Structures are given as structure tokens and as C-alpha cells.
Chain A
Amino acid sequence: MATKIFKHIQTSVVPLPIENIDTDQIIPARFLKATTRDGFGNNLFRDWRYDNEGNPKTDFVLNEPIYSGKILVAGKNFGCGSSREHAAWAIADYGFDAVVSSFFADIFKGNALNNGLLPVQVSEDFLAKLFAGVFADPNAVIEIDLVDQFIKIVATGETESFEVNPYKKACMTNGYDDIDYILSKKELIAEFEGR
């Protein structure tokens, strides 16, 4: 089944300089009751974004109109905790195409890649530069190129390369999906079961 294709983006970013953001913050459990993949963006970072009465908290970055863009930049160990893929769905549904951090939790990284949401792992130094850049100028533009595997702060030209599993890269740049790949090897599964 075809999935979303990702090759290259150039956009402003939304900064969230908090470490260890767990998937319970990205999407709290009480919003996991939907049985489809859509609409989770409304509850992205729900308890940081809204107060108990459902009013927007004005000091949370998603409620600050000066910040926008298709890249979320966050502190280290992003996406730890629960395996809920709803976290990746919520971030993508909200309108992000990529998340940049200095460290990602394993399961989140896999879930993001399976949903056309690119996790870009950068050095602590580069992350600090990204935060400094966007806090100095909220319109600062960042370029991410999956084909050539680099991230660039456009204003200064500072660039860093990032790692991505070659298979996953091929999936994302072509819109392939894991199930199609495994199904193409179905005779090997039958053979394995016969061993």
C-alpha cells in the first residue's frame, strides 16, 4: 500500500526545548479511544496545550502564533515511554513532517518512519544552534534533505548530516511499505514454518 513520500522540506520550525518528552505528553491515554488514525492532531500535547477547561495555555509554543512550520525541534530522548503509534499520528496529523532531536526513543522512531514522519537525530551542539537560531528569529528556515541526508540552517549555512536506515530511506522516498516487502517474501515464511 502506498504511503506518504518524503524527500526534502524547507520550512520554519516549532521549538520545544524539553527533554524526555514521553508519548503520554504527546497524546495522553484518555485520547487513545479512537478506532481510526485521523484527528489525533487536535489533542497533540493536550495537557501542555490546554488547561482543564479546554482553554489554550498561551505560554505553550503551539499556541504562540509567532512559531509555525513543518518541523518540530525537541530536547533529547524524544518519544520515550508507551509504544502508542498514536503519538506519531498526532504529530503528523497536526501538520509536522519531521521531528528533530538529539536522541529518539526506539519505538517512537520506528513508528514515525512507518508514517512518513521523519525523525532527524542531530548532535547536542547542532540542536543548541537550532534552538538559538529559532529563538533569535522565529521565522528562521531549516532545510531537511532525506535523499542526501543533511539538515541545514539556511541563514547561516550550517549543515549536519544525519543517519537513516537505508531500507527505511528507500521506503520513505518511494512511498513503499513494510507489509508489501514482507509479503514479497511469503514463500520464505512458509519454508521457515516447515523447518
Chain B
Amino acid sequence: MGQTLFDKIWDAHVVSSNEGFPDILYIDTHFIHEVTSPQAFDGLRTRGLPVFRPKQTVATADHNVPTWDQHLPIKEELSRYQVDMLTKNCAEFGIELYGLGHPFQGIVHVIGPELGITRPGGTYVCGDSHTSTHGAFGAIAFGIGTSQVEQVMATQCLLQSRPKRMKIEVNGKLQNGVGAKDIILYIIAQISAAGGTGFAVEYAGDTIRGLSMEGRMTICNMSIEMGARCGLIAPDETTINYVKGREFAPKGEAWDEAVAYWQTLYSDEDADFDSILSFKAEDIEPMITYGTNPGMGIGVTQHVPETASFEQKEQGSYKKALDYMGLHDDEQLLGKPIDYVFIGSCTNSRIEDLRQVAEFVKGKHKADNVTVWVVPGSKQVQEQAIREGLDKIFDAAGFPLREPGCSACLGMNEDKIPAGKYCVSTSNRNFEGRQGPNSRTFLASPLTAAASAITGVVTDIREFLSESEFSELEN
């Protein structure tokens, strides 16, 4: 019996495996940020332990940081304190920090890959559920809680039971204007926000193969939104070309050795999956969510489901979600006026996302009723965008390019969507209050978000594409 990609990587990292106990899994790199680490550092102090492998620990400040005037002190006292605490802890425990002002600063799941720290075959954890992003490289990567952050700091290992394996295949040609974000929103809508719980999900099929690394990261990023432990995609030429030459990528002979190993990382033909699902790319429309979990998504031309279509015991929760969103049964979102557009977050803030949006908005201008925020995922993305002149295109369109951070993804920093307002957002969560108390989120792709910013209403990107020069815009 052959092995899955997941099992090959897992087995290569098992330090010890004992009947009745979870495995002790070795972690190659531990990413940390300011929100989920302070209590872990405190735990180490209480135990009198050092960080076991500080050189395999990478820190950045992202969740609390302002995305405007970053050179000024953080205004909000508690946010400033938390960021300062990270600086202090990293200095005390000998950890490299890519803090505010550092050229490598950014959202933790954007900087790992762009610095060449995230590589095929590795194991990566972070006290953040979207760590699944890094699986796009053919790696095992997942989010952990703070007790586990302390565990990895103390031992560079994690106690973990091996999850079940699921394969999700997507084959076929995507419609124009449909991209990676639509694929993953579609999959989650099909299998629900809990459909992947307990599984490590490998994405495969020719549609997935055809995606850029940025697109693959968008897919793996949202694995957690269907409850999956992690998501991963076998490495190929696209992966290797992306990693090559990056800051911390192996060089010279070490590179050749690494590539030779990476080429062995795929699921064998006869590998055994606990579950296999298949989807057709042609079936996927530009997607949008209407509810308060990422599984509540529909094609942009479809109508909000009727309450009566759900089982009796689910109707209460469903009604609560629609009430929160200010929507009703059978409503069509297409044409609904919106207030904000947020283009950013670890799902869609990479240079390719920004390029795609810039190409689309060039020569257009946002609608008066909409406030637009474009937030790059990292300092490097921001600088690249400026080098390419994207900031000028954005400015002319009324889409100011801000500074890197998590921004309006989570309502923890200054960027919050006001109560009752609708935001078309490229982030990954539409939970109640996620973007600010009583904010209302429609999750969508960068292209759908950009098109909606231009018209001021929820928009089908395909309408633009059929009548304009953007017929080849794809992710």
C-alpha cells in the first residue's frame, strides 16, 4: 500500500510514537506573533525553561498593528503593550523578531513563504489557525493554542494524534473571473464549515495544479474554515520556482539536495485516503457568502436559501444568522448596496492579488458610497507594489494602499467595519462581529471585491469581463 503525501511528511518528523499516546512530532519552524505568545513566554518563565530552539522560531507583529502611519507609536494602549511585550520577550529568549518597521514585517502567513522559510516537506506551526496556508508548499502546517505554543517553545515538538486523510480533487477549466478564492469558498459551501473536521486535506486535480503559489496558499489558508486540521498540495515545478532564490531558501548544493527530496513528495498512486471528494471547475461561479460562517456561501447570482429548506433543529441558528446579516429568505445579493471593501488578510494580500486588482481597477474609480482599504500582507509586498506603480493606480481609483497587517480581518486593531455596515471582504471569516462589533461581512475574491467597489453594489465580475478588455483575468 502506498503512502499519502501527508503520511510521508508526518513519518519523517515523528520523534517518538507510543501506543495509546499521541505522537511526538518534530516542528521545523515555529512562527509566533504578539497575540497568542505572551502567556506561553510566561509559562516558560514559571518553569524556568529557555526557548529550546530559538533559531527555529520566527516572530512578527501583525494582528494589533495600525495600517496607516505605522512609524508613529501604536495609539491603542493595550495593543501597544502587547506588541512591546513581544519585543521584550523575543529579546529575552533570543528570538529574531520582524517587528514594526523591519523590512520583513508582515502577516505571519505571508512572510514565512515569501522569505523562503516555508518549504516543501517541512512542519510548521503557529498560534493561529490559518497556519494551514503554509501547506500550499507540500508541508504539514497547522494552528495551535497557546499551551501548545509553550510546548513547542520548550521542546521544538508537539504532541499530536495523526489525523485522517481526505483528498479533494478539482478538475476542469475555470470560468473567466473565477479564481482560487472562489474554488475554496465553493468547496466549503459544499461540505459545510465542519465538513473537514479531523482531516488533513490534500488538494489535487488539474485545476489545483494550474494555480500559482499565491492561489494555492489562498486554498490551503481556508482549510480551517471547513474544520480541517490542515491542507496541503504536492510540490511541483511551480512550488520549486517560487521558493528558489528567496532570502532563507537553501542555496548551492543544499538546494539541489532539497529539490531531489521534494520531488519524492507526492501521494502514491495506491495511497489510501479516508475520504475522497471531487468537484468540477466548470461548476464554480464567482462566490459570495451571505451568512455568519464561511460555509454559508452561494454563487453570486444565486439566492439566499429559504429557512424552510433546513432541518427544524437548524432553523433557529439559520434565522439568527440572516437577522444578523439583515437579509431575508430568497434574497438575491447581486445589486445589494455595500459600504466597505477590504482587500487584504492572509488569504488575499499577496503581490499577485494586488496586481490582479490593480489591473482590473486601472482607469476606473470606486463608487461614492464605498470606502476601500487595500492592505498588503507584508512590507515586501507593499514595496513591490510601489515599485510596480500599483499604488498610483490604486490612488487614482480611490483605493488607498495602506501598510501591512491583519487590518480589518479581525477587528482587533484600528481598522474596524462600523456596526450594521456591509463589507465585501477578501478575508476568510464572516463570523458575527469579526470585522468589528455588529459588522456584516460578505466574503469574496479580490476581483469580486474590486468590481463591487467600482459599482457600489454586490457585483458579478463576469459582467465586466464580457464587455471589456479584461477577458483573460484569471487567478
Chain A 39-76 interface 0/1 with B at a Cβ cutoff of 8 Å (1 = within): 00000000100001000000000000000000000011
Known contacts A24-B429, A30-B411, A107-B145, A1 near B39 by CB under 8 Å = no
Contacts of B47 in A (CB 8 A): 1, 179
- Candidates B26, B36, B79, B317; contact of A19 at CB < 8 Å: B317
Contact with B along A80-91 (1 / 0, CB 8 A): 111111101000
Interface mask (A171-187 → B, CB under 8 Å = 1, otherwise 0): 00000001101110110
* Contacting pair A20 B39 (CB below 8 A): no
A52 touches B419 (CB 8 A): yes
Question: Chain B contacts of A188 at CB under 8 A?
Answer: 15-16, 24
Flag whether B229 is at the interface (Cβ < 8 A).
yes
When A128-B313, A189-B156 are in contact, do A85 and B146 touch as well, CB less than 8 Å? yes
Question: Is B412 at the interface (CB under 8 A from chain A)?
Answer: yes
Interface size class of B (residues with CB under 8 A): 35 or more
Known contacts A29-B411, A111-B147, A188-B24; A35 and B82 CB within 8 A of each other: yes
- A sample of 15 more A-B contacts (CB under 8 A), given A25-B433, A28-B433, A32-B63, is A1-B47, A29-B411, A29-B412, A36-B38, A52-B419, A80-B293, A81-B224, A82-B429, A103-B194, A106-B227, A110-B148, A114-B147, A178-B147, A179-B154, A189-B156
B208 on the interface (CB 8 Å rule)?
Answer: no
Residues of chain A from 140 to 185 with CB closer than 8 A to chain B in the complex = 165-167, 178-179, 181-183, 185
A116 to chain B, nearest CB (A): 11
Pair B146/A183 contact, Cβ less than 8 Å: no
Listed in ascending order, the chain A residues whose CB lies under 8 Å from chain B are 1, 17-20, 22, 24-25, 28-30, 32-37, 47, 52, 75-77, 80-86, 88, 103, 105-107, 110-111, 114-115, 128, 165-167, 178-179, 181-183, 185-186, 188-189, 192-193
Check if B459 is an interface residue, CB within 8 A of chain A: no
Would you call B151 and A179 a contact (CB within 8 A)?
yes
* Distance, CA A181 to CA B200, complexed state (A): 25
- Residue of B at shortest CB range from A113? B147
| Known A33-B64, A83-B143, A165-B161: A18·B194 in contact at CB below 8 Å | no
| Chain A residues within an 8 Å CB radius of B36 | 83-85
B384 CB to closest chain A CB, in angstroms? 28
